[in-house]
Amino acid sequence: MKPKEIHEKITDLFKKNKLDWITLLLPLDKMQNWALLTSKRLKISRRILSERISELFWSVGYSQLSLGYSLWCLEHCKYPNGVSGVAFFESEIPNAIDIPAIHFCYHLHTSEECLYRCWERITSIVQAICYHNINEKLYFNGLVNKIKNDTRYNINPKLKELSKLEKTWNKVARLRNLSSHQESSPMKLRKIEGKESGLYDPRGKVILCADYSYKNLNSEIQEIQDLYKRLLSSIRTMKEFIDNIQNPTPIKM
């Protein structure tokens, strides 16, 4: 398939799964215009804020593509709902980790990483505005805690909504760290355990068998879809918090 055809396929999959195409709802030119107005209002570096807005936009775009590829690969997986059973011979264990499943795992792993990058960008934007003189990298939960203890910002009427996003951030970070530091192999989908079958051969010896199971791929991707669906509202909450810093009148984006 040509790139344009692939993009059309991903667009169809997004419609089928009721997923927003966020980069169309928050186009880069409008985001950059908001960055310009915000930098003027709060007297911060236009260049830095513009760069971080651009990085957020493209991280969201990559999240869309990686999730789209994951959904596409899922359509070609032999056991999208998983499979389990008991095998007495190795040949009886189904080959669930085939080429489509390997590609699915690759793109799902990329989706987790891209979502994590989106949250890094959200954090960096808020940090660039509230703590632009701090070079230390802050994670989202640490940034929110810092804001809560800062009298300049803890009166912000949108702080409560910003704080609620910590639950989503924690889920994104947990998934990403698990796949990045521990379980990136497609073999994580498979579990095989040998055991005694309770049966005996003609010589009276116990016959061994294996319990096998492969994870439900639909369940694996559903968690990523749920986190992606929260991304648009999270970005808007970030914007509303920033709009309410020393300015109760939000700027439309």
The predicted model gives 224-237 an average pLDDT of: 96
Among 10, 22, 223, 252, residue whose Cα is nearest residue 122: 22
What 8-state DSSP symbol labels residue 197? E
Q: Per-residue confidence at 182, pLDDT binned at 50, 70, 90?
A: low
Return mean pLDDT, the chain. 90
The yes-or-no verdict on residue 250 having pLDDT over 60 is: no
For residue range 23-45, what is the model confidence (pLDDT) as tens digits?
A: 999 999 999 999 999 999 998 88
Percentage of the chain beyond pLDDT 70 is 95
Structure tokens at 142: 């640490």
Alpha helices in the chain, H assignment, sequence order: 3-16, 22-25, 28-42, 46-74, 99-130, 140-148, 159-164, 166-181, 217-229, 231-243
d(CA 15, CA 134): 42
**Contact between 129 and 42 (Cβ < 8 Å):** yes
What is the predicted pLDDT for the residue at 247?
56
Note whether 235 and 168 are within 8 A (CB). no
Q: pTM for this structure?
A: 0.88
Q: Which of 31, 172, 47, 55 is nearest to 111 (CA)?
A: 172
Say which range, 43-47, 120-124, 208-212, 249-253, has the weakest mean pLDDT.
Answer: 249-253
CA 229, CA 227: separation in Å to the nearest integer? Answer: 5
pLDDT > 50? residue 69: yes
pLDDT given at position 71: 96
Distance CA 111, CA 106 (A): 9
Compare 132 and 180 and report the one with higher pLDDT: 132
| 50/39 Cα distance (integer angstroms) | 9
Q: At residue 124, does pLDDT exceed 60?
A: yes
Q: What is the pLDDT, as a whole number, of residue 249?
A: 44
Q: Mean pLDDT, to the nearest integer, of 191-210?
A: 82
Shortest CA distance to 75 belongs to which of 101, 94, 97, 95? Answer: 101
